[in-house]
Chain A
């Protein structure tokens, strides 16, 4: 097992970015994924461990004009009670309600869920549906800079993303969804609690007079990364949400993916779950 030579607990984004600029580091927030992965040898520690939990400016949800910022250190539990989430991004609360257990929700963070980059990361699915952008901070030339990456361009494989060694995810930005936007999140596993999803769906759009537009569809646990489904979005855009449209969308959703068969579920079963959950959410919002 790798050893940690240096431990830092900065209290500002600026200090954390400076520490990241100084050399290779592992970042820890809630620790619920890292402790496990480091303990099992799946992940090695870099020489420096940076605990970012004391950076209070990175926790919480804020609204600035038409943009909502979910700080990276916002816990999954925070999403359940936050008023901005309840008003503008209720599907994030639906997701949080299906996430792990109380103890894990209390420790786990939105940023950690993103950076862990699990193909089955629950939090990522509704964030993709809401067209979230990752906000990354770094300090390459003595001053802290940020860049934004749309979340559907962020993940490159299981556990991998475009985040650079000197960068810190400080939060995600989401444009306030348009009036009339409704959505849902579905996740399936053998029991409601503490499950890694066999498959997950986040789906939303503006529904007016029975017609859905501005459709956004995301799937989890059916590809090497959580994905948006352009094909399912196209099958729904501008359509009347009747039985024919919903059934066709379920069919396209299940045929548009190439899931693997593993210990959790078969390829066939994952396709079935995606179809059923897609249709369920569409029935709910129609």
Chain B
């Protein structure tokens, strides 16, 4: 059993204190210790983007990040995207465009789209494709996902 590390960080606006094994990934901590099961593990190798979270305003694959490295940082997961007013505009556009098929890639797609639009509010279609190139949809519903993100950028 690896050494435990006590960490304090902010997730979706709430301060959390947890004790994590030094070798644990941020994804396993979110899912197993904080019961935030929105971020998914698919490849576990950084190839698919299903585990994408936003940390200190930048998107990362949480499966390749050490949980201990979350100490002192600010994390946003898919669970924090929806507000009291309803779905985030990106989520709403995914619904309206039918951009969700099996749904497994959707949390990662939404988080990466959110990060991309924060950096570049008016992307071209090519820039949307580049921005989402680290996210795999095995239902291959890319057309509708790209259309959904493009609509958010337009509105």
A32 pairs with B46, CB closer than 8 A = yes
**B49 proximity list for chain A (CB < 8 A):** 101, 103
Chain B residues near A49 (CB-CB < 8 A): 22-23
B106 interfacial by beta-carbon distance below 8 Å? no
Within 8 Å of chain A (Cβ to Cβ): is B114?
A: no
- Complex formed: what's the CA distance from A192 to B133 in Å? 9
Contact call A38/B23, Cβ cutoff below 8 A:
yes
Q: Is the CB of B22 within 8 A of A7?
A: yes
Query: Which residues of chain A in 89-121 are interfacial with respect to chain B, using CB atoms and an 8 Å cutoff?
Result: 100-104, 106-107
Chain B contributes a number of interface residues (CB within 8 A of A) equal to: 33
CB distance from B118 to the nearest CB of A (A): 12
Say which one of B58-66, B83-91, B144-152 lies at the interface with A. Answer: B58-66
Q: Give the residue name and chain of the A residue nearest to B73 (CB).
A: A53
A39 within 8 Å of B by Cβ?
Answer: yes
Whether the Cβ atoms of A4 and B2 lie closer than 8 Å is yes
- The CA of A129 and the CA of B3, in the complex, are separated in Å by 42
Q: How far is the CB of B47 from chain A (nearest CB, A)?
A: 6
**How far, in Å, is A55 (CB) from chain B's closest CB?**
13
Quick check: B60 and A6 within 8 Å, CB to CB?
Answer: no
Q: What are 22 A-B pairs at a CB distance below 8 A?
A: A3-B2, A7-B22, A7-B68, A9-B71, A28-B69, A31-B64, A31-B69, A35-B65, A36-B46, A38-B23, A39-B44, A45-B2, A51-B68, A51-B69, A100-B134, A101-B46, A101-B133, A103-B61, A106-B58, A107-B64, A193-B134, A194-B134
B59 engages A103 (CB within 8 Å): yes
Which A residues are in CB contact (< 8 Å) with B116? 102
Q: How far is the CA of A1 from the CA of B21 in the complex (A)?
A: 14
Query: Nearest B residue to A101 by beta-carbon distance?
Result: B134
Q: Which residues of A contact B21 (CB under 8 A)?
A: 4
A5 CB–B CB distance under 8 Å: yes
Which residues on the A side are within 8 Å of B63 (C-beta)? 35
Residue B1 is within 8 A (CB to CB) of chain A in the complex: yes
- The answer to the question of A77 belonging to the interface, with a C-beta cut-off of 8 Å to chain B, is yes
Across the interface, which residues of A come within 8 angstroms of B77, CB to CB?
A: none
Q: Bound state CA distance, A39 and B64, in angstroms? A: 10
A7/B3 in contact, CB under 8 A: yes
Complex formed: what's the CA distance from A107 to B64 in Å?
9
Whether the pair A102, B22 counts as a contact (CB closer than 8 A) is: no
B residues in contact with A3, CB < 8 Å: 1-3, 23
- For residue A9, which residues in chain B have a CB less than 8 angstroms away from its CB? 68-69, 71
A103 and B1 within 8 A (CB): no
Interface bits B122-155 vs A (CB < 8 Å: 1, else 0):
0000000011011100000000000000000000
Cα A107 to Cα B46 in complex, Å, equals 11
Q: Nearest B residue to A193 by beta-carbon distance?
A: B133
What 20 additional pairs, Cβ within 8 angstroms, besides A32-B61, A102-B131? A1-B23, A6-B3, A28-B69, A31-B64, A31-B66, A32-B46, A35-B66, A38-B23, A39-B44, A49-B22, A51-B66, A77-B58, A101-B49, A101-B135, A102-B59, A103-B49, A104-B61, A104-B134, A193-B134, A194-B46
